[in-house]
Amino acid sequence: MEEEEEKGKAEADERVSVVQLLEENLGLLKRLNAVLFPINYQQRYYVQALASGPFSQLAFCGDTCVGSITCRIERTLAGRRLYILTLGVLAPYRRLGIGSKLMNIVLELSEKEEDLLDVYLHVQVNNEEALQFYKKFGFEVQDIIRNYYRRIEPPDCYLLSKNLARKLVTAD
């Protein structure tokens, strides 16, 4: 079974292409989100996703948009942070490495940004599959936030983050 799954991942990886979210393909993200998530995203979400530049990506299998990752860059006094707004893959395309491919792109880009402190996100407490997925990439649970979600059950979530390794510069 594992051997078949690995073969499927390798075949899918060859057929999967990833492109940056742009104004021209924003409609694809809107349609994808309507299928993937129980939330109706407002225009502000799409503006933030577009503003993050290469940190928001769409995944295609052939001509079909099958997944996405969207992010928001936040500026703090200590430096910039990257918040993962959404990461999702259509059900028939899951377990083929597409979500991992999207995550790896974002993490590789994050490592190159010197003033980016961390990458963080929220995961609903009952979403064990997502929790394990993010832990695989080095994310750690920082907190449980009660009543984070207003219109979905359960309303609680985990706050996960991944600190980015930075080399400290010391004066001699």
Respond yes or no: is residue 122 known to be catalytic: yes
- pLDDT < 70: residue spans in the chain: 1-14, 165-172
pLDDT for 12 equals 54
Which listed residue (41, 122, 148, 149) is catalytic?
A: 122
In this prediction, residue 166 carries a pLDDT of 59
- Helix, strand or coil for residue 88? strand
Check: pTM over 0.85? Answer yes or no.
yes
Q: Write down the catalytic residue from 45, 46, 83, 158.
A: 83
Give the closest residue to 105 by CA, choosing from 140, 130, 69: 69
Residue-range domains of the chain with CATH? 2-163 (3.40.630.30)
